Amino acid sequence: MADPGTMVRQALMQAARDALAAPSIYNTQPWRWNVTAEGLELWADLDRHLKVTDADGRQLMISCGCALHHAVVALAASGWQPVVRRLPDPGRRHLAADINVMPLAAPAAQDIAMYGAMRQRHTDRRAFTAEPVPARVLSGLAAAAERQGAHLYFVTTSQLGALREAAQVAEVAHQADPAYRAELAAWAHRPPQAGDGIAPGTAVDPSMRRVPVRVFGPLGFGRSAGLEHDAGASYGIVFTDTDERVDCIRAGEALSAVLLTAVSSGLATAPVSDVIEVPRSRRLLQGLLAGGGYPQIAVRIGYSPKEEISGVAPRRDPDSVITSS
């Protein structure tokens, strides 16, 4: 039988591997893991920072928060109680978090379900059907965000015009910026061995929707968005009470929790970050939050078409992401 120290290191290594499945801006997977004698360290990978699309580093830290939550879910499902510190060392600015563990008596059913959802979840950019998401399910998604220290606000029908305007403002600003277009093209045409980037099978061509989605390339780069129009889709805004770096991490954890909870309920999901990347569009979203707060990322949730999705976002080789010291 392995000694306790070996068992802990094995669990931490596996959690880092499982966290490779987390969503990230442009599928950059901008994080690194280091397994130490004390625990598991999560580092922001600045070599993967989108300096144009994500000039302030917000989406970089949100992506790290998603990976952090995925690792925590993996540990809980395998019988460990994670103890997380966010931004634990001011002297090491890019250390996003560290995790220590204690044994659990047994994983909860919810932990096991969330872990299963990690293997099923993918970003579905196709248009969702007209079937509405039940109110009780939306309430559960909001509660999942709250447990991670952030909030989830669902845009009302009367506010959809403002959300649509925010998406249009963001797209116009992006397409007018040659540096943005070059950065997007670079991540949309990654070599297959890179294990990252926007695979054509996961992008969709523009279509008629209630709220337009980011255009990833020229017509024909992606797949068809389908015959639906997002008529039953719900649009959530993940927001926080303050706007510090740690809030971005918590927003990423909340986004991950919302996505996994949604998948567990049979829903399809797609994070929406373009409306946060442009100051004017972000202000439009902030105006939708009646109680105040800082929007960090949006998410589209609904029921996908019956056809199976063909594109799966690639993932990096664990050996290039995970180290041990």
Secondary structure element (H or E) that encloses residue 31, with its range: strand 31-35
Contact between 2 and 37 under an 8 Å Cβ cutoff? The reply is no
> What pLDDT score does 2 carry?
58
C-alpha triplet 185, 189, 192: angle, nearest 5°: 160
Summary mean pLDDT of the chain: 94
Contact between 266 and 302 under an 8 Å Cβ cutoff? The reply is no
Percent of the chain with pLDDT over 90: 85
Contact between 127 and 99 under an 8 Å Cβ cutoff? The reply is no
> What pLDDT score does 312 carry?
78
In angstroms, the CA 317 to CA 40 distance is 18
DSSP letter for each residue of 126-147: SPP-SPPPPHHHHHHHHHHHHT
Res. 42: pLDDT tops 50: yes
Which pTM does this prediction carry? Answer: 0.96
The amino acid at residue 59 is Q
List beta partners, residue 98. Answer: 41, 85
- Residue 58 tokens read as 């917000």
Of 148, 170, 187, residue with least CA distance to 65: 148
> What pLDDT score does 219 carry?
66
Of 258, 247, 288, residue with least CA distance to 152: 258
C-alpha triplet 142, 62, 102: angle, nearest 5°: 80
> What pLDDT score does 307 carry?
74
Residue with tokens 């059907």: 129
Secondary structure element (H or E) that encloses residue 286, with its range: helix 279-286
Q: Which residue has the higher pLDDT, 285 or 106?
A: 285
- What are the residues whose beta carbons fall under 8 Å from the beta carbon of 90, sequence distance 6 or more? none
In angstroms, the CA 19 to CA 128 distance is 27
Q: What is the mean pLDDT of residues 250-279?
A: 98
What is the number of other CB atoms lying within 10 angstroms of the CB of residue 292? 8
- C-alpha distances in angstroms, 204 versus 130, 196, 270, 319? 19, 17, 12, 31
> What pLDDT score does 282 carry?
98
Res. 107: pLDDT tops 50: yes
DSSP letter for each residue of 70-115: HHHHHHHHTTEEEEEEES--TTSTTEEEEEEEEE-SS--HHHHHHH
Task: Note the Cα 274 to chain centre separation in Å.
Answer: 13
Residue with tokens 């980011």: 214
Half-sphere exposure of 89 (CA within 13 A, CB side): 10
Per-residue model confidence as pLDDT tens digits over 169-225: 999 999 999 999 999 999 999 998 999 999 888 888 889 999 999 999 886 677 888
Structural domains in the chain, sorted by start: 4-121+314-324 (3.40.109.10), 135-302 (3.40.109.10)
- C-alpha distances in angstroms, 207 versus 212, 214, 225? 8, 11, 6
Res. 310: pLDDT tops 90: no
Strands 80-86 and 95-103: antiparallel
Task: Note the Cα 93 to chain centre separation in Å.
Answer: 22
Contact between 21 and 119 under an 8 Å Cβ cutoff? The reply is yes
> What pLDDT score does 99 carry?
98
Per-residue model confidence as pLDDT tens digits over 110-145: 999 999 999 999 999 999 999 999 999 999 999 999
Res. 231: pLDDT tops 50: yes
Position 1 confidence tier, pLDDT thresholds 50, 70, 90: very low
Half-sphere exposure of 97 (CA within 13 A, CB side): 29
